[in-house]
Amino acid sequence: MQNNNSKKAFTIIELMVVITIIGILASLVAPKFMGKLETAKVKTTKAQLEMLSTALDSFNLDVGRYPTESEGLKVLWTETKDIKGYDGPYLPKPVEADAWGNPYIYKTQADGHPYNIISYGKDGKEGGEGKDADISVWDK
């Protein structure tokens, strides 16, 4: 006669083997995933710069000028009656920071362009290379 009360379960060694395999797989996949994450942040920042640029052009069409540095980008999503011809807001919600959480830098009359919007990249500091490189709205 067979004992039906015996329970089937994993042994501690089997669990350790499975956990070790999962750890090894995670260590192989994580670096590749992190690289994709940084690439996605660069692409997100570039898309936001394009969106801000389009909103600035709409502001210019209505008002006849681009915002001053003191007005900044905030004028694109904050309704104001103080500017003649203003027909905004031009963006439905604030876009104050890049994908790394650093504020966008808005400058007027930059390098032959009527304005420039800059993200200082991952490190949030001017200059840098790779993921820390500055991203301008005029970069190709």
Q: Rounded to two decimals, what is the model's pTM? A: 0.73
Residues of the chain with pLDDT under 50: none
For residue 17, the model assigns a pLDDT of 85
> What is 41-136's CATH superfamily?
Glycoprotein, Type 4 Pilin (3.30.700.10)
For residue 33, the model assigns a pLDDT of 65
Residue 140 CA from chain centroid, whole number: 17
For residue 2, the model assigns a pLDDT of 55
